[in-house]
Amino acid sequence: MYNLNLILSGDYLEILKNSLLQMFKGVQKTNPEIQSPKQIRVSLITWWLKNYNLRQVQYMAGHKYVRSTERYQLNNLDKLQGQLEKYHPLK
């Protein structure tokens, strides 16, 4: 992950943080079961693994090591797929 403090400084960093927080709060209003942005990321990576090969997902997720991507295959995929279909914002 990139350190936003190195890319952005001062007011711009705070504006970005506030914007991301507001976007997440909007998603939570639509889908109250979503607890954190990490939950969205896990669902997305799991969906990618069903639709793309492992190396493509590794690149899209920004993982340095393929093992980091493989750990998402260990999740209960059927349950996550159901949640993704129910709560995906582009549905």
Residue 2 clears pLDDT 80, i.e. is over it: no
**Where do the structural domains in the chain lie, given as residue ranges?**
1-30, 34-91
Single pTM value for the model: 0.61
The helix/strand/coil state of 73 is helix
Residue 63 clears pLDDT 70, i.e. is over it: yes
Q: Which residue has the higher pLDDT, 14 or 61?
A: 61
Summarize the confidence of residues 30-48 as an average pLDDT.
89
Residue 79 clears pLDDT 80, i.e. is over it: no
Place of tokens 């997305």: 44
Alpha helices in 1-91 (DSSP H): 4-7, 11-30, 37-51, 54-61, 66-70, 77-87
Residue 1 clears pLDDT 50, i.e. is over it: no
Report the pLDDT value the prediction gives residue 62, as an integer from 0 to 100. 93
